[in-house]
Amino acid sequence: MKYSLSVTKQRRRLRKLKLFLISLILLAPSIASAQSSPPNLPYYDSRIIHFGFILGYNQATANISFKNPMPHNDVVLGATTDRQSGFNIGVVSDLMIFKYLRLRFTPIISFCDRKINFNVYQQSKYQTLSNSIETIWLEAPLEFKIQAKRWNNFRPYLIAGGKYAYDLASLKRKKTDSDEVLVKLDNSELFYTFGVGFDFYLQYFKFGIELKTSFAMNDVLVHTYDNIYTDVIDKFKSQVFYINFTFE
């Protein structure tokens, strides 16, 4: 068990390192072009409203809490979640409130999975049963963009806000085989979001990189789907990490 946990941690570190390197590779040409002189798009931020589109990468996981005392603890010993990779596309609509504060509505569609691993003791041996839950979210984020002062062709910012997400692939109301689907999740979730971003003013458009995380506020486990796996979980709250590339 300890060996498998250490391997999982190493894999997670390697994934994070790969993401960091990919981000640096993508960022390098943008930084080089962004520091040209004179400044590109000098009057861009004076616009009241502007639009664009988003291409992004995501990783979905969840925070699970268990009932205390945990039922069926002679069979179900616990559960963990794995980070699952996906992608998202969407549009940007950006409204200036004042010089350093903008309001952004960025509806996107996200494709990802959420994977739950149950550690069980059956047939006189320890096993791991995995349940991968396909997810297609229609997301409606409303976020504040708090900007720093522009430096030549570069401008960092903070993001804070919330969103509603509807899962088109939810199995909540679908008949399923309990041997294949260990848990079911609701189709509606509310999230709060925060993160950071970096804008680069290029010759013809503004390119941005956003790193942000969304945390679910509501429990999405369908408790009426009655089996020993659902019974041990008290709350299931999704968590999603995004690397978004914006073109405005």
The 10s digit of each residue's pLDDT in 148-179 is 999 989 999 999 999 999 999 887 766 665 56
Does residue 105 fall inside a structural domain? Answer: yes
Distances (CA, A) of 130 to 80, 115, 119, 209: 9, 7, 9, 34
In a domain, 20, yes or no: no
Q: What is the mean pLDDT of residues 222-241?
A: 89
Assigned token pair, 12: 């997670």
Q: Does 80 map to a domain?
A: yes
* β-strand pairing of 154-167 with 101-105: unpaired
Q: What is the CATH number of the domain that holds 84?
A: 2.40.160.20
Q: How many helices (H) and strands (E) does the chain have?
A: 2, 10
Segment 180-185 shows an average pLDDT of: 81
CA distance 248 to 241: 22
Query: pLDDT value at position 210?
Result: 95
Residue 78 is assigned to a structural domain of this protein: yes
Write the pLDDT tens digit of every residue in 3-55. 344 445 545 655 665 565 566 555 545 554 545 567 888 888 889 999 999 99
> What is the C-alpha to C-alpha distance for residues 215 and 142, in angstroms, rounded to an integer?
14
Asked whether residue 193 is assigned to any structural domain, the reply reads yes
Residue 213 backbone dihedrals phi, psi, to 5 degrees: -130, 140
CA-nearest of 101, 116, 93, 95 to 184 is 116
Reported pTM: 0.81
Pairing between strand 233-247 and 101-105? unpaired
Residue 205 lies in a domain: yes
Identify the pLDDT of residue 177: 57
In-domain check, residue 25:
no
Rounded-to-integer distance, Cα 189 and Cα 219, Å: 8
Domain extent at residue 93 = 47-247
188-201 and 154-167: which strand pairing?
Answer: antiparallel
Say if 27 falls within a structural domain: no
pLDDT attached to residue 190: 96
| Total number of domains in the chain | 1
Q: What is the pLDDT of residue 13?
A: 54
- In the numeric block, which tokens belong to residue 69? 């005392």
Element (H, E) at 23: helix 2-34
Nearest to 144 by CA among 155, 160, 164, 162: 160
User: What's the average model confidence in pLDDT over 222-245?
Assistant: 90
| Burial group, residue 234, by CB count within 10 angstroms (0-12, 13-18, 19+) | middle
Q: Is the model's pLDDT at 1 over the cut of 80?
A: no
Amino acid identity, residue 164? Y
Question: Among 112-121, 191-200, 208-217, whose mean pLDDT is lowest?
Answer: 112-121
The owner of tokens 């073109």 is 247
